[in-house]
Amino acid sequence: MRADIRIAWILARGSERREGWRILLTALGALAATGFALGAVAVAAVPGQVSIPYGHGLLDQPGQRAGVVLTLVLLLLPVLGFLGQCARLGAVHRHRRMAGMRLTGATPAQVRRIAAVESAFPSLPGAVAGVAAFAVLLAVAGHAPYPAAWAGFAVVVLAVPVAAALVSVFALRHVVASPLDQVRRTVPDPGRRALFGFLLGAVLISAAGMLVILPIGFRYAAFPLLVLALVFVTGAGAIWAAGASASFLGRRLTLRAQHPAVLIAAGRLAHDPWAAARTHAALLLVTVVGVGFVGVRAVLLADLYAEDDLAMDLGFYTTGIGVAGSAVLFALAISLCGLAVGTAESLATRRRGLAVQAAAGVPHSVLARAALLETALPLAPALLLAGVGGTAVYLLYAGFVGTGSVPLLPLLVPVAVYAACLLAAATSLPLLRRVTHPAELRFT
């Protein structure tokens, strides 16, 4: 392992200029992860009941602070997924280097470890920058963290690069580099993740059902479990829908489509239908949560404004809702960045085939439309199912509180997310002109 770390450090120092984007994105992801982790540590270190002049008393009570800490910790999940996307992109860009290591006797597993550890080195400057920015923020606010938080800060700075390396190892577990300058992926079991989500949702639904038949005090605990179960079941179903629809559309359109862009996209979907499910998994889960949050927010605010005796405390509730909404928006932004990086990684993986198609006379506009269709076709049914799941969440909440009005604005969230996904995929199109350069034909 020590030799792998040394090789990874040498390779990181000798990175080519074209790998600057990978290094920059990895550092930014580490900075975001460090910021959320430091915030969670700082809030968790506050002892007992205090009076904090921020957030309309949202941080005064231990129970409310626990909710804030949980929100910050959950925001680490899309950030770690984004770091995994960056690791996969870096592995493909370094394919010749990986092939050279295989020629010198390195095993496929060792090559993946070196590539993963190399991703940890850009994370260290990002973690240090996150600590510096957090310290400046505390100094400007005029507050010093509690003594118990300092040990947590030190752990965060060391843990973020380690977490980036572990996430990279997980993301690269299906990447196989051969000594003949080829990088390919092994295909995992396509239904395993969806099955896990369905089983977890079934367990949560069963637990909620048990709580419903218990005394009234336990019934209030059933609602969060039901919501969590709906999110997991719908998210797993949406991920499965992305892969299944890609497989179905790929087979049917390959036989019936006549437009060149549709034929190229259909061939790609038929060849690896579950690539869409891997790339869109976090985005679909965020969509379920986003639709449910927008609906719950509308119902909750309507009930709050209808209560005259809560008029003086509305700031407390609206601040909490704003914090949760900001968390959902940030998770969506990170998921869209991961989609853009995943699309770029897909183009880089297929650069030889794309270069051959361009050399054969396929116009650049046709290849660009095919790249967008690879995202648009499987994502539409998956987002539709995610929207249905999110709608079920806020309808369940509306029935739980007994409100008579059901908002329709959340139904527009999947449409907005779909448009944002197409824009995120379009950001990778400048890479298409580079990977179709005739110089890539040297390596076919």
In the chain, the N- to C-terminal Cα span, in Å, equals 34
Q: What CA–CA distance (Å, rounded) separates 295 from 292?
A: 5
Over its length of 444 residues, how does the chain's per-residue pLDDT go in tens digits?
677 777 777 766 666 555 667 778 888 888 888 888 888 888 888 777 766 666 556 666 777 777 778 778 878 878 887 887 777 665 555 666 666 676 677 777 777 777 777 777 888 888 888 888 888 887 777 777 777 778 888 888 888 888 888 887 776 666 555 555 555 555 554 455 555 555 655 665 565 555 555 555 555 555 666 667 767 777 777 777 888 888 888 888 888 878 888 888 888 888 877 777 777 878 888 888 888 888 888 887 777 676 655 544 566 667 777 777 888 888 888 888 888 888 887 887 787 788 888 888 889 889 999 989 988 998 998 898 888 888 887 887 777 766 666 777 888 999 999 999 999 989 888 888 888 877 767 655
Whose CA is closest to 220, among 210, 232, 231, 211? 211
Cα 50 to Cα 36, 60, 221, 284: the distances in Å are 22, 5, 27, 38
442: left (phi over 0), alpha (psi -120 to 50) or beta: alpha
Contacts of 395 (CB under 8 A, 6+ apart): 295, 406
pTM of the model: 0.76
Tokens of 108: 């496929």
354, 436 Cβ separation under 8 angstroms: yes
Contact present, 284 and 238 (Cβ < 8 Å): yes
